[in-house]
Structure 1
Amino acid sequence: MEFEITHELRANAWRRLANYLIDLAVQYGLGYLIGLAAALLTYIDIFGPLEYIEAMNKIEEYLLGFVISFVYYFTFESLTGGRTLGKYITGTKVLTWYGEKPSVGRFAKRSLCRLIPFNPFSFIAENPRGWHDSLSDTVVVEISKYEQEVNYRKAFNEIGSPVDDNTNQWGA
Structure 2
Amino acid sequence: MLETLFGKCMMVFAMAMVPVVELRGAIPLGVSMGLPPLTVYILAVLGNVLPVPFIILLVRRVFDWLRRGRFWGPKIAAMERRAHLKGRLVRKYRLLGLIVLVAVPLPGTGAWTGALVAALFDIRLRSALPAILLGVAIAGGIMLAVSCGLLALWF
TM-score, length-scaled by structure 1: 0.30
More helix by share: 2
Structure number having the greater strand percentage: 1
Asked which structure has the greater CA Rg, the reply is 1
